[in-house]
Amino acid sequence: MGHKITQEDNFGYLLLSLIFLLLGSAIAEQLLHGGQIMIVATTIICLSIAVIGVGKDKLMFRNGLGILLAIVALSTLGSMMETLNLDLITLLAILGFLLMSTWTAAKQVLFSGKITSNQIIGSICIFLLMGLIWAMIYLINIELFGQAFNGLEVKPWTDNFTSVIYYSFITLTTVGYGEISPALPVPRALAYMEAIAGQFYMAILVASLVGAKMSQSHDS
């Protein structure tokens, strides 16, 4: 019999899908010369696994699949009709899916009582989802404002996908190498908001989860 995903182990699948998304998109760009089809295919595969990982209730599962189908349809239609620019709508759909996944994961991590190893894995998933959410927001800014970032050209979002993810996580962890920087007031505000959110999350939430887990281990 196959292994059934339960509330106690579902975050492992989500974590694997997020890691695959981050590494898979980079490999697709570097070794397979990128391309919209490869980037979108990698994204869809990972988001599909994420639906399995966090979609424990039927409403989440149905909504997640609905958004995925919308992303596939929009991306396919945009590729077939080069004169039809559906990039902004596609990015908004992906952003909506990521927000829904983060909220569902946060409810399981923050409001489920006893701290387990699965919840600690879930807290890592939320951190990775935060970086991806901000990346989508940055890509939407490029679509809306053009040259919103120094170091990034204005081109289809799939061509900037890995670069913006890199910038997002560098900002989230406050490393800030400087190859990419915001060029307009709104992207600048978003960048420092992401840095603040990343520091707050790492310092407060993850530390509390690990501390609670260690305390439970000592008490048992």
What pLDDT is stored for residue 113 in this prediction?
A: 60
Which residues span the domain enclosing 131? 10-219
Spans in the chain with pLDDT lower than 50: 1-6, 81
Domain membership of residue 1 (yes or no) is no
Q: How far apart are the first and last CA of the chain?
A: 32
What pLDDT is stored for residue 189 in this prediction?
A: 96
Domain membership of residue 35 (yes or no) is yes
Residues 109 and 11: their CA atoms lie apart, in Å, by 10
Three-state SS string over 102-134 comes to HHHHHHHHHCCCCCCHHHHHHHHHHHHHHHHHH
What pLDDT is stored for residue 133 in this prediction?
A: 95
Domain membership of residue 193 (yes or no) is yes
The number of domains in the chain is 1
Domain membership of residue 2 (yes or no) is no
What pLDDT is stored for residue 68 in this prediction?
A: 61
Domain membership of residue 102 (yes or no) is yes
What is the SS3 assignment for 197?
helix
Domain membership of residue 4 (yes or no) is no
What pLDDT is stored for residue 74 in this prediction?
A: 60
Domain membership of residue 3 (yes or no) is no
pTM for this entry = 0.81
What pLDDT is stored for residue 140 in this prediction?
A: 93
Domain membership of residue 143 (yes or no) is yes
